[in-house]
Structure 1
Amino acid sequence: MAELVYPPVIGVARTFFKALDLRFDMQGTENVPRRGGAVLVSNHIGYLDFIFTGLAARPAKRLVRFMAKESVFKHKVSGPLMRAMKHIPVDRAQGEHAYRHALKALRNGEIIGVFPEATISQSFTLKNFKSGAARLAQEAGVPLLPMALWGTQRLWTKGHKRDFGRNHLPIGIHVGEAMHPDPGELAVGVTERVRERVQELLEVAQRAYPASPKGPEDSWWLPAHLGGTAPTPAQAKAL
């Protein structure tokens, strides 16, 4: 069936990012398979992460179907778009329906995008990963694609105002090599291995990031362990 909505939405997003003069550092996009199912797993630090994660699949000419909380699908603006782009609503109280939906899509050769932290990390460090992505990949017999984003929190994230000014912000998008979990391996073990790989990619993206804070008031987007003023993981958990 023809994709009537998704490609135009991507075009609008690219035009918007060009207007903002974002500076992209995209690494590892060749790791996204050109055909067949896969589970794309990324950290989550900003409200626009699903767009940036999807951009990583465009060099392979693939579209990513994201699993997102059900409330997004109920919004009068985002809801019709999310449904038209065939994303998958997740009712956190009854997640089995979304799981079956995603499993069927994977077996049909789709790429499913998952943020296994479930919510935005306000400390901008990795939270614990839920095991759903690993279980999907194992049951569908498809690879896991670890990925890390960096810099997206500076545009729009939880607890901070949007900054859509023409600030030439750098955005890091790093995709790792596919991981092929053994069907017999415990999902918790697969999940931990994926988390470790995402952490490695995140650290590479942070080291490569060219921007430095202009002063204490501009260091809010940096984790505390990197000298920033973002909440520590313990403080973020309390929030």
Structure 2
Amino acid sequence: MPGSDRTYRVVVRIFGMLFRLMGYRFDVRGVEHLPTSGAAVVAGNHIGFLDFTFIGYAARPRRRRIRFMAKRSAFELPVVGRLMRAMHHIPVDRRSGARAYRQALRLLDAGELVGVFPEATISRSWLLKPFKRGAAGLAINRQVPLIPAIVWGGHRIFTVDGHRSLRRGMPITIVVGEPLRPREGETVAQLSLRLRAAMNALLAEAIDTYPAMPTGDGDRWWLPYDRGGSAPDPETAAVLDREAVARIGDVFD
């Protein structure tokens, strides 16, 4: 179980300094839905490589640290892997997820917040992909709240297919929704559907209220296809996902 969180505190402080240096304009809503104590599962959408840092950063006012489940391949990277282990994040091996699941349960038993990306990989459409059921399964297994969270704008900074930017003053919206509490007799599939509906509503809110628009046709890539953007529709994005994994594997995606 996590003891000293010195590394986590240092990393959060460093990222906070970098965010201020870059002048990122955060709009964080619903942070009061994160408990100040006790276990919960936090489920976030996945549109960029920095999603976990933004959701973790948003939890600072509640004095909580989120232990994210992430691909084992990320833990094998120099420096990054050591830091993630020191921060007690959870490595997930796609071929055998039972060990990660048990580790997540132990963290919940210890009163921790466990962060999960139900889509598993980054969405190239920027819309929600089909969900894995791990987040709902953890919440039902330990009868803890399942908290939806949405990040919007972070993909403009660093995401798949070579999209990255060092532009200062980028707006980033983070919306945390009301906790979903497992109902008596509710199945994992049913709770997962409730989670997806809640996250879809929060994503629509985040996009609708985002304080920026594309500057021209070449800048429409970060908007979904159904919002006038040039991002692929979900079906096309799924094909691109498969091609990317076949080409370069899934170290980061």
Give the TM bin, normalised by the shorter chain. over 0.9
Question: What is aligned with 1:26?
Answer: 28
State the Cα deviation string for residues 75-109 of structure 1 (Å, max 9, x = none): 11211000000000000000000000001100110
Q: Which amino acid aligns with 2:157?
A: L
Q: Structure 1 vs Structure 2: percent identity of aligned residues?
A: 48
Question: What is aligned with 1:223?
Answer: 224
Structure 1 residue runs without a partner (length 5+): none
Q: Which moved more, 1:51-60 or 1:32-41?
A: 51-60
The partner residue of 2:157 within 146, 150, 155 is: 155
Q: Which amino acid aligns with 1:26?
A: V
Note the C-alpha offset of 1:41.
Answer: 0.4
Distance 1:57 1:38 in 2: 13
Q: Which amino acid aligns with 1:171?
A: I
Structure 2 residue runs without a partner (length 5+): 241-253
RMSD: 0.8
Note the C-alpha offset of 1:161.
Answer: 3.3
Note the C-alpha offset of 1:53.
Answer: 1.0
Specify whether residues 183 and 57 from structure 1 end up closer, same or farther in structure 2 by C-alpha distance, changes over 3 A only: farther
Q: Which amino acid aligns with 2:16?
A: R
The partner residue of 1:131 within 130, 133, 138 is: 133
Question: What is aligned with 2:211?
Answer: 210
Question: What is aligned with 1:237?
Answer: 238
State the Cα deviation string for residues 137-176 of structure 1 (Å, max 9, x = none): 111111000111100110011112321232x111000001
Aligned length: 238
Distance 2:184 2:137 in 1: 9
State the Cα deviation string for residues 22-58 of structure 1 (Å, max 9, x = none): 1111000011000000000011000000000111211
Residue 43 of structure 1 contacts residue 147 of structure 1 at CA under 8 Å; is this kept in 2?
yes
Q: Give the 4+ runs in structure 1 shifted more than 6 A.
A: none
Question: What is aligned with 2:87?
Answer: 85
Question: What is aligned with 1:200?
Answer: 201
- Is residue 179 from structure 1 mapped to residue 180 from structure 2 by the alignment? yes
Note the C-alpha offset of 1:183.
Answer: 5.2
Question: What is aligned with 2:243?
Answer: none
Distance 1:111 1:18 in 2: 26
Distance 1:177 1:152 in 2: 22
Residue 139 of structure 1 contacts residue 183 of structure 1 at CA under 8 Å; is this kept in 2?
no
TM-score scaled by length of structure 1:
0.98
Q: Which amino acid aligns with 2:124?
A: Q
Q: Which amino acid aligns with 2:137?
A: R
Distance 1:58 1:144 in 2: 19
Question: What is aligned with 2:41?
Answer: 39
Specify whether residues 8 and 193 from structure 1 end up closer, same or farther in structure 2 by C-alpha distance, changes over 3 A only: same
Residue 156 of structure 2 contacts residue 163 of structure 2 at CA under 8 Å; is this kept in 1?
no
Question: What is aligned with 2:60?
Answer: 58
Residue 46 of structure 1 contacts residue 156 of structure 1 at CA under 8 Å; is this kept in 2?
yes
Distance 2:184 2:25 in 1: 39
Distance 1:83 1:63 in 2: 14
- Is residue 120 from structure 1 mapped to residue 122 from structure 2 by the alignment? yes
Distance 1:113 1:7 in 2: 17
